[in-house]
Every structure is written in structure tokens, then in C-alpha cells.
Amino acid sequence: MIIKKAEFITSAARPPQYPPAGVKEIAFAGRSNVGKSSLINLIVGRKALAKVSSSPGKTRTINFFNINDEFRIVDLPGYGFAKVSKAEQESWGKMMETYLSKREDLVSVILLVDSRHEPTAQDVQMYEWLQYYGLSGVVAATKTDKISRNEINKNIAVIRKKLSMDPDDVIVPVSALKRTGVEDLTSIMDSMLAEA
């Protein structure tokens, strides 16, 4: 995958605000602060295309990006952010469920989990949910720059177990800081788009 063009299209909460249908989409999901927006920026080679913040909860709506006029990358708002009200959690749930279950152009979802920690109950729930809808493409284990190579291998085994992944389900270690894992991920994205 060679990124020649990457641009923000729009930010949406409800289907009428989504960009027009008919273009394949790959979405990035995961806990708030896990590194979704940073990874998207790394993939597209733009420092600040998707907004990144040191405080969790930066991405609150569904953000659509046009890539090469060929497909879209979709940055989803994160879950598990403690400082949100019950009402906000509910509206997040509705927004996510509507997009993930009804969007026909959605080819696959890349689920990000933190390579340092055991997946949370919400990570497990999200992975099961994606599998149920046939959307679970690949898991990316983020922020691997923060741990040693040994720990990465050990933690990946834990993540696989906790998410009940099959041996042929793929998990890609990535670091937006060290810029590693991107080629593995983009070649998987190429296959997702080719097979869709």
C-alpha cells in the first residue's frame, strides 16, 4: 500500500452525517488512549491527520479519512474512558453499534489493544462482537516501545489467550513512536481490501 493522498472527510455521530456510501472502509477500534489516532497517522504518513491527545477521550465521534481516493480509514472513538457520564457512554454505544452493524461498506475492523496489559473486559467484548459480525480483521498490540522484546512475546501470548484467538488469527505488534509494525499492518489492509 502506497499512500499518495490522505485527507480528512468528515466527523459523524449518526448515519445521515456519514460520507456517501460506495467506498470501502477499514475502521480502527479500541480503548481510549490505546493509540488509534497515532497509528492512523503513522500509516498515512501525516503527523496530525487524526487528532492525538495526552488526555484520553480525544476522539468523540466517528472520523472518516479518504485514502488515495480508493478507500477510507475510519477512526472510532475509544471506550473505557473513566471520565464520561452514563449518558455519554450510552450515546457512544449507540453510535458504535449503529456504525459497526449497519455500515455496508465496512470491510474490516482493526482492534487495538495495549501490548503492556492484559485485555480488558471491554476489549474481550469488542473482539467477540466483531467476530459475531464477521468484522474481526486483525489485532494490533500497541506501544511496544514501552516494553522489552521478551515482554512483547509474553504479553502477546496473554492477549491471544484472553481474546480466545485461533492460531491463525493475526496479532501485529506496533509502535507509533518507533514506527514499527506498519508494513505488516498495511499489507494486511491490502488483502482486506482485495478480498472484500
Ligand X SMILES: Nc1nc2c(ncn2[C@@H]2O[C@H](COP(=O)(O)OP(=O)(O)OP(=O)(O)O)[C@@H](O)[C@H]2O)c(=O)[nH]1
Stretch of 5-13, 54-62, 93-101, 159-167 contacting ligand X, by CB under 6 A: 54-62
Give the residue from 59, 135, 50, 58 showing the smallest Cα distance to 95. 59
**Bridge partner residues of 149 (DSSP):** none
Residue 20 or 125 with smaller CB distance to ligand X: 125
Residue 46 or 160 with smaller CB distance to Mg ion: 46
Question: Is residue 54 a contact point for ligand X (CB under 6 A)?
Answer: yes
Question: Is residue 35 a contact point for ligand X (CB under 6 A)?
Answer: yes
Q: Given candidates 33, 41, 59, 108, which one binds Mg ion under the rule CB under 5 A?
A: 59
What sections of 25-132 are H helices per DSSP? 36-44, 86-102, 121-132
Gyration radius from the chain CA atoms: 16
Task: Name the pairing type of β-strands 6-12 and 62-67.
Answer: antiparallel
Question: Is residue 155 a contact point for Mg ion (CB under 5 A)?
Answer: no
Shortest reach from residue 194's CB to ligand X, in Å:
27
Question: How far is it between the farthest Cα atoms of the chain?
Answer: 47
Show the cell assigned to 11: 466527523
Residues lying near ligand X in the complex (CB under 6 A)? 30, 32-38, 52-54, 56-59, 77-78, 142-143, 145-146, 175-177
